[in-house]
Amino acid sequence: MRLLKNIFFFRGFEYVSKQKLKEKLKSMVKLTAGGTVAFYGIGLWSNNAKFYESMVMPAVRWLDPEMAHRAAVLAAKYGLVPRDRSPDLAVLRTSLWGLEFDNPVGLAAGFDKHGEACDGMLDVGFGFVEVGSVTPQPQPGNPQPRVFRLEEDDAVINRYGFNSEGHAAVVERLRARREAGGLVGVNLGKNKLSADAAADYVAGVNAFAGLASYFVINVSSPNTPGLRELQKGDDLERLLDSVLEARDAACPPPGRPPVLLKIAPDLSAEQRQHVAQCALARKERLGGLIVSNTTISRDAGLRSPHAAETGGLSGRPLQKLSTDTVADMYRLTNGQIPIVGVGGVFSGEDAYQKVRAGASLVQLYTSLAVCGPPIVGEIKRQLAELLTADGFSSVSEAVGADHRPGKTRTNSAAIHGRAVSEQIRADLRTAAGS
């Protein structure tokens, strides 16, 4: 009898122990899962560059590039991106076209094609955001795959081909966020099968009048057949005049939004001269130039197996070409036409080089895709340090400094800029290998 009691006792104890063990295991799983979510949540919200380099961006690279792009837009749309809570330094504030920029670092067109993520990206710390390109009618763009990572080169090749939800959808979104404020430009494109390009751009001005902080005439994407021909000859002059007339009619002063022309870095010397002459002839009405779009050229040093893909190349390999084009256009326009410099901006040094070459503002996109949102704050911090080291009290004072005698860089600023750029490159290589 005592033996039976002992058997029942131990079996009962075993059952109770198993139940407690299960409960403990469930608690441990919940605690671990909660801790993991909290860890990632804190890392994401803290805008920690090292966290993004070592944890987030390597995970993102497992996704198809276009899927990763879409996920990033949705994250920004729903506020699942880190917010830059630090006020911008006074040295970064600048004024242009009657607009006040908290900082000169903007998000280039191509990321938020449909106007879904403006507020999220402004929260990340950009001084301004550009949506688009937007076409009058919805169109799917080119067949997939159409985006390729060149991880070894910190670059991207895309041939999206103006995939757009059309004017109506984007107008509705921008109208819904109008009270939120912030500077939001609209990059205008043409439909692939449109017979009248000028009419498409004019339609864009009319559609976004009262909603856009500025307009961009995008005639430099390499992914829409015949588009780049609009940068040449009489076609460019007629297009500019049509769009400027439409802007003047749709947007009475004060507060008339500027119109900017976005050009390719692949223009010949003669073509650049023509663009400069067209801009100077309309300098009282044209807001400026965005220099530059992606390039169809391929540097012999590209290492990625995707380097031969058709489309526009962006990222670090574009940095020197775009900066040289900024300098050239600044020289050709005698510094009289404001320039927005874009292409290969991965550091404050890259941004500073464009400012000194002649850019009043800069934009980035590919470095955001490579490094994540913390890159924005890093670029701003480094740019402020470089401006201060060279004795500038504002961005506007440094614009075109390389073209002025006696405005050479101090050794400390140049050395600091190179050191920061090298550190970023090293961090990127480490993250890519993890």
Identity of the residue numbered 37:
V
Determine the Cα–Cα distance for residues 209 and 248; give it in Å rounded to an integer. Answer: 10
Helix runs in 212-285, H state only: 233-250, 269-281
- One-character DSSP codes across 181-196: -S-EEEEE---TT-S-
Q: What does the alpha-carbon distance between residue 188 and residue 274 come to, in Å, rounded to a whole number? A: 22
Tell me the one-letter amino acid at 328. D
**Cross-strand bridge partners of residue 262:** 218, 290
Say whether 268 is catalytic.
Answer: no
164, 221, 322, 421: which one is catalytic?
Answer: 221
CA end-to-end span of the chain: 65
Residue with the two structure tokens 């890392």: 43
CA distances from residue 300 to 109, 188, 266, 303, 369 in whole angstroms, order as listed = 27, 33, 16, 9, 23
429: which 2 tokens? 């290589």
Half-sphere exposure at residue 76, Cβ-oriented, CA atoms within 13 angstroms: 27
User: Max alpha carbon distance in the chain (Å)?
Assistant: 111
CB-based contact 271:231 (threshold 8 Å): yes
Tokens 């994401």 correspond to what residue?
44
For the record, the structure tokens of 405 come out as 């005698």
Where b means 16+ CB within 10 Å and e means fewer, 160-172 reads bbbbbbbbeebbe
Distance CA 168, CA 114 (A): 10
Q: Is the peptide bond before 292 cis (omega within 30 degrees of 0)?
A: yes
What are the catalytic residues? 221
